[in-house]
Amino acid sequence: MALAQLLQHRRPVDEDVAERLAETEAQIADLDRQERNALLIAARSREADPQTLDDVLREIKGSRAALEGYKHKLKEMLAVGDALERELAGVASRLRELRDLMDEAGFAERRRAVLELVKSIEVASPVIAGQGKPVVTVTYRFSEPAEPQWGIDPSPLLETARVPVRLLRRPRA
């Protein structure tokens, strides 16, 4: 679900970044053309001022350096999105494997798995609008357990994730 949402929301962002990247590369190519033309004009002209040529070339090189930096940042944005997508796909795959194993497991194995996967469960009752509302926060353990279970290598699961879970009560009739 989270992976599908990421892909759905990422597509327009990636398209926008790719469009800006193409525009940036076109601007860099245009600056390269301007630099070649300035050098060609200076080489053909006997009256060209060397200081003016240096100023023009310095401005072109400065603009090109700024565009190259921007291009690098755009490529980093795409790479970060790709890395997040790969990470979420890996987590989703591992969770599917665990779910399949859990479906086949008995009660004792399921209990042991929950103890390995859940780091803590906290229940709080903050008062909201004059009424106590139960809030449950589950902290999942995505790090290597003491003993690997079911033959799955848990080392790629690196951190813990805190997921607030709100308990909903049925309205009183």
One domain for residues 139 and 120: yes
Please list the residues that pair with 122 across neighbouring strands. 137
Look up the domain containing 137 and give its range. 107-166
In whole angstroms, what separates CA 147 from the centre of its chain? 30
Is residue 152 within 8 Å of residue 97, measured between CB atoms? yes
The alpha-helical segments, DSSP class H, found in the chain are 2-44, 50-104, 107-117
pTM for this one? 0.53
In whole angstroms, what separates CA 149 from the centre of its chain? 29
Mean pLDDT (whole number) for 4-32: 88
Share of the chain above pLDDT 90, in %: 24
Please list the residues that pair with 166 across neighbouring strands. 135
C-alpha span between 25 and 37 (Å, rounded): 18
Structure token pair of residue 143: 């790090």
One domain for residues 15 and 86: yes
Q: Tell me whether residue 141 is exposed, middle or buried, using C-beta atoms within 10 angstroms of its C-beta: 0 to 12, 13 to 18, 19 or more.
A: middle
One domain for residues 91 and 144: no
Q: Which of 37, 33, 59 is nearest to 48 (CA)?
A: 37
pLDDT at 11 over 90: no
Q: What region, left, alpha or beta, does residue 29 occupy, with left being phi > 0 and alpha being psi -120 to 50 degrees?
A: alpha
Specify if 116 maps to a domain: yes
Structure token pair of residue 49: 């001022």
Mean pLDDT (whole number) for 38-62: 87
Last residue of a domain, one of 46, 77, 102: 102
One domain for residues 15 and 70: yes
- The pLDDT value recorded for residue 160 is 43
| Residue predicted with more confidence, 156 or 86 | 86
- pLDDT per residue as tens digits for the range 112-154: 878 878 888 888 888 888 888 888 888 887 654 445 444 444 4
Tell me, what amino acid is at 105?
Answer: A
One domain for residues 73 and 12: yes
- The pLDDT value recorded for residue 26 is 95
Domain count, the chain: 2
